[in-house]
Structure formats: C-alpha cells, structure tokens
Amino acid sequence: MTSAQSISPLRRLRGVGGSLRLSMLAALLLLGACQGSQGLHRPDRLVAPYGQTALWAIAPLVNESGTTAADTIRITDLLTEELQQVQGINTVPVTRTLAVMHRLRMSAVTTIDDARSLMDTLGVDGLIVGTVTAWDPYTPPTLGLALQLFVQHDRSSSPGTDSLLDQSTTHTRAGPSAAAQAAGIFDASDHATLETLAVFATGRTHPTSAYGTDIYLVKMDLYTKFVAHQLLARLLSNEHQRLAGLTEY
C-alpha cells in the first residue's frame, strides 16, 4: 500500500478544511484592511509662507479669561504642539522659553524690548505672544485666544510697537516687528464652530472610535488644539499677505 493510500479519507477532509479556513481568514483580514484604509482621510495641514524652515517660539500666554482655573502653561504647550505640525516651522519647547525668561527675570512679554531680548537669547526667527480671552471646559466648551506674531527679519519693512497692547505708536528701529495678529472666541454651542470643527477633526480621529469627531467636544486638550489650529491658520494667512505686500514694492 502506498503512502497516499494509507491516508484515510477523514484525514484528507480535515486537511482540506484547515486550508479552507486559513484561506477564508486571510481573505477576511485583507477585506478588513481594505475597508479600514477606505475609511482613512488625510487631515489638512498648515504651511508656512517662507522659502526655508523658520524657528519660532511661543511665550507663555497671559490669562485674561476672568477665571483662575485656566492653565495657561498647558494651553501654551498645546499651541506649541499644533505649531510644530506646520510645514516649514520648527518650535522651541515651552520649558526652554520659560527657562530663558527666568534667566532674564521676565515674568511676561509685554513690550517690544521684552520680545527683542527673548528672541535674541533664544535665537528664533519668530515669537508668538498672546492671551487667553475665554475659557470654559464644560460641554459645550469655549476657548478664546488672541495671538500676535513678532518676526526678526525685514526689520525696517513693518512698524514696531513700544507696547504689545498699543498699536498706535510706530517707528523704525532695529529689532523684531509686529508682523501679524489673530484672535477669536470659539463657542462649541455655535453651529458655525461645530461645522469648522467637523472639517478639522476629519482625518484626526480613529475610524473605530465610539465618540468619532465628538471626542473634540469631550476632551478640552483636543478642543484647545482645534482652536490653536484655527488661529494659527489666520496668523499664517496674515503673515503671507504681509510678505506678499512687501514683494509688490
């Protein structure tokens, strides 16, 4: 009797069944992978209006929200994380900025001289200073920020200011200049805000998440990143327009 004849029909069936099960499992895994990839979307990314990578820092935000519960350092950290996502910009960690401010005995950046000293010591091309104007972490959350960008280059092309709060005094002096501003309050009970959030969250949540895009309404850190992205987009757009205006002359 040959070896083939010695194998019982039952064993043959078991072997065929095992192969079929393996084939079906592989097919299911492949199908799941295809379905998963079809549910993925690329999130929109911001791009800096510069020809080469710039180094920016963000000074700790000042709390003007009317509540002492707002953690301005945490909000500054999240704003910095979102800025690091911008193509063409690298960022300085907030801890390093705080250390330099401590060394300079600077509690906050409130004047053009403060901005100049901090930028020179950090060696950055740009510095964002700003305030938290509204903060409410309870559903629906609310967050407001006011940001101002100072740049180290083209010093004589745009006016500087003696105070970051007073934009009326202009002069031409060497040092950083106020380049762009952006401000806004984002209330999640406003449908316009919710529409903007839905667009931002697309491609930034796990496809199988139970919350879906609503996770940004549940976690204040995520909502802060959404607001940071919107204001950085405005800031970069204003900076782009400023640079475009300079090339016309």
Supply the DSSP symbol for 183.
E
> Cβ contacts of residue 98 below 8 Å, gap of 6+?
60, 73
- How far does CA 151 lie from the centroid of its chain? 20
**120 has pLDDT over 70:** yes
Give the mean model confidence (pLDDT) for residues 192-202: 93
Decide if 128 contacts 149 (C-beta within 8 A). Answer: yes
pLDDT confidence of residue 15: 53
Q: Is the pLDDT of residue 162 over 80?
A: no
What is the arithmetic mean of pLDDT over 215-235?
Answer: 96
Residue 16, pLDDT > 50, answer: no
pLDDT at 44: 79
- Residues 41-66 have a mean pLDDT of 92
Predicted pLDDT of residue 160:
39
Mean pLDDT value across residues 41-69: 92
* Total Cβ atoms within 10 A of residue 78: 21
Instruction: Report the pLDDT value the prediction gives residue 9, as an integer from 0 to 100.
Output: 52
* Backbone φ, ψ for residue 242 (5° rounding): -65, -45
Task: Give me 165's structure tokens.
Answer: 């709060």
- Judged by DSSP in three states, 233 sits in helix
In the chain, what is the greatest distance between 2 CA atoms, to the nearest angstrom?
Answer: 106
Rounded distance between C-alpha atoms, residue 170 and residue 158, angstroms = 9
Look at residue 119 and give its three-state secondary structure.
helix
Q: How far apart are CA 80 and CA 84, in angstroms?
A: 6
- Computed over its alpha carbons, how large is the radius of gyration of the chain? 27
Helix orientation angle between 220-246 and 72-84, rounded to the nearest 10 degrees? 60
Residue 163: the pLDDT is 42
* pLDDT for 205 beyond 50: yes
Q: What confidence category does residue 11 fall into, taking pLDDT thresholds of 50, 70 and 90?
A: low
